[in-house]
Amino acid sequence: MKSKECCFVYSEINKYPLDIPAELDAKIERTGKKGRSGFKKDTPVSFMFFVRIAAVVVLAVAVGVFAWRLNQYSKDIQENDAQINSISISSYLVNSAEKRATPAYPEYEGKTVDTGRIDYPQITDSEKLTQYALAYPDFVCWLYIENTTINYPVVQAEDNDYYLRRNIDGESNISGTLFLDFRCDRTSFKGHNIIYGHNNQNGTMFGPLKKYTDKSFYDAHSVFYTYTKDSVIKWKIFSAYETDTDDYYIRTYFASDSQFEEFLKQIKNKSVYDTGVEVTTQDRILSLSTCYLYNKINGRFVVHAVKIGESPLR
């Protein structure tokens, strides 16, 4: 029989005896001895060890993805700068483009003729956009909202997927290109039309749209412009709100004026504030749509605008 002393060990920290069963004495002797691998003998690899390894791997992947996305965003900005320069827009942020005044028209039988023509920011000219349209057959228009980063070409493909992750040259691109719904008439903008774009974290593409939740932002940016080689159209925003894909706000076909009228009433009433802008079934409607995943899994943020005037592009 072993002596009782073999059943006592002393704590290295507190220096008091611990009564250990004799059958565990041999195992105690082996504890703390390391093998060549560096791990303690007879000590199982703990679950937390794998958790730490997994955390390091996840962190490394996250850093890599972040760096890749940052590089892609930088590339996207450079590509858009090149597009802007190609049609002679002075800078990425056109803070205060020169206004082209509406020409005066003679009176008709003592009354001023309403031509519907408007003043517009002179960010480019007809010759440049003509060349641009020839270079890019899918080009529809140039979309511009003053004092924001929304200053991009809009294209249209045979579906709503092609330009989702491609630039205007058809190359792979994380930000994609703003595109008009394939169901819409790119020449007349008759009825309801939708332009889609990504809500980029760096504020590019349709990133600024979410700011329309703030009425003060709306007051400062209540209109935007679309440019083609022939004309400039001015649009007035009449509704802005958060929704999701279960809401069919992207409807483009209406069997009757009454259906279209009901649709216009619904999207106007959804606005987070009253814009005071009235719309009718005779109007051209242009909506800007982007992802908005802050409150809903399939969230969207949409801005609806009505055509209020048009002028030739000089």
- Show me where the domains of the chain are located: 1-31, 62-312
Question: What span, in angstroms and rounded, lies between the C-alpha atoms of 49 and 130?
Answer: 63
pLDDT in tens, 72-97: 556 666 666 666 666 665 433 344 45
Question: What span, in angstroms and rounded, lies between the C-alpha atoms of 138 and 120?
Answer: 24
Residue type, 69: R
**What's the confidence (pLDDT) of residue 314?**
83
Q: Which residue do the tokens 């850093």 mark? A: 63
**What's the confidence (pLDDT) of residue 54?**
77
**What's the confidence (pLDDT) of residue 160?**
96
**What's the confidence (pLDDT) of residue 94?**
40
**What's the confidence (pLDDT) of residue 7?**
47
Cα 300 versus chain centre, distance = 10
**What's the confidence (pLDDT) of residue 296?**
81
- Distance separating the N- and C-terminal Cα atoms of the chain: 109
Q: Are strands 285-291 and 299-312 parallel, antiparallel or unpaired?
A: antiparallel
pLDDT in tens, 117-169: 788 998 888 999 999 999 999 999 999 999 999 999 999 999 999 999 999 99
**Over the range 98-129, which residues count as b (16 or more CB within 10 Å of their CB) and which as e?**
eebeeeeeeeeeeeeeeeebbebbebbebebb
Cβ atoms 271, 264 nearer than 8 A = no
Cβ atoms 155, 180 nearer than 8 A = yes
Where does residue 60 fall: left (phi above 0), alpha (psi -120 to 50 degrees), or beta otherwise?
A: alpha
DSSP 94: -
Tokens of 2: 């072993």
DSSP 18: E
291 in catalytic set: yes
Cβ atoms 131, 85 nearer than 8 A = no
Question: What's the fold here for domain 62-312?
Answer: Sortase; Chain: A; (2.40.260)
**What's the confidence (pLDDT) of residue 81?**
66
Q: Is 280 helix (H, G, I), strand (E, B) or coil?
A: coil
Tokens of 10: 């002393």
pLDDT tens track of the chain, all 314 residues? 444 444 444 445 444 455 555 555 555 555 544 444 444 444 455 777 777 777 777 777 666 655 555 555 566 666 666 666 666 654 333 444 556 555 554 444 444 445 567 889 988 889 999 999 999 999 999 999 999 999 999 999 999 999 999 999 999 988 999 999 999 999 999 999 999 999 988 889 999 999 999 999 999 999 999 999 999 999 999 999 999 999 999 999 999 999 999 999 999 999 999 999 999 999 999 999 999 887 888 899 999 999 999 999 88
**What's the confidence (pLDDT) of residue 43?**
47
- Which sign does the torsion angle of CA 181, 183, 189, 194 carry? negative
Return phi, psi of residue 308, to 5°: -120, -5
From the candidates 6, 7, 184, 291, which is the catalytic residue? 291
Q: Which residue do the tokens 């009253």 mark? A: 274
Q: Which residue do the tokens 């279209």 mark? A: 260
Number of H helices, E strands in the chain: 5, 14
Whole-angstrom CA distances from 280 to 61, 116, 283, 289 are 52, 16, 6, 21
